[in-house]
Structure 1
């Protein structure tokens, strides 16, 4: 089966996000004060063949870890899987 898999890399909650802070201060706050926090990250989209959603997720997690697409000390990853 074909799956669309999204990998999102963002700073951990305990790590400052200067890019997000800048976006918040100089862009978002021009329009609204209702946005409490803005975080900026990296987004990678994959289209893969796998036997299940779980297999697709595990494959992308392996690629992210072994391919060093993020630094586990300061980043966290979110993986979203959708069947095509």
Structure 2
């Protein structure tokens, strides 16, 4: 059975304040007045290595686990998934 790396990226929804991203922007980036960076959003990533029949099943299994164990709060977080062959 093929193995996949499934990256689950969890970040605050755009309308939710991101204090970590704001801190990085203000304290590290904006001190250099010449920068073109205007906004930073932080996120966390979980990397699952999973064996599955295909990419779609690997993603579904991982998302089912994330939802079952409440890995993220759907009220404030948005989730994206990237899947690679292991």
Q: TM-score, normalised by structure 2?
A: 0.90
> How far, CA to CA, are the matches of 1:48 and 1:8 in structure 2?
16
> How far, CA to CA, are the matches of 2:53 and 2:31 in structure 1?
47
Q: CA deviation at 1:44?
A: 0.7
- Aligned partner (choices 60, 68, 75) of residue 58 of structure 1: 60
Q: CA deviation at 1:29?
A: 2.1
The SS at the match of 1:80 is: strand
Which structure has the greater CA radius of gyration? Answer: 2
Residue in 1 that maps onto 2:21: 20
Kindly report the root-mean-square deviation, in angstroms, between the aligned alpha carbons of the 2 structures: 1.1
- Larger helix share, 1 or 2: 1
> How far, CA to CA, are the matches of 1:63 and 1:73 in structure 2?
18
> How far, CA to CA, are the matches of 1:36 and 1:57 in structure 2?
33
Q: Deviations over 1:18-64 (max 9, x none)?
A: 11101110012234521121111211111100011000111111111
Q: TM-score, normalised by structure 1?
A: 0.92
How many residues align? The count is 84
Residue in 1 that maps onto 2:85: 83
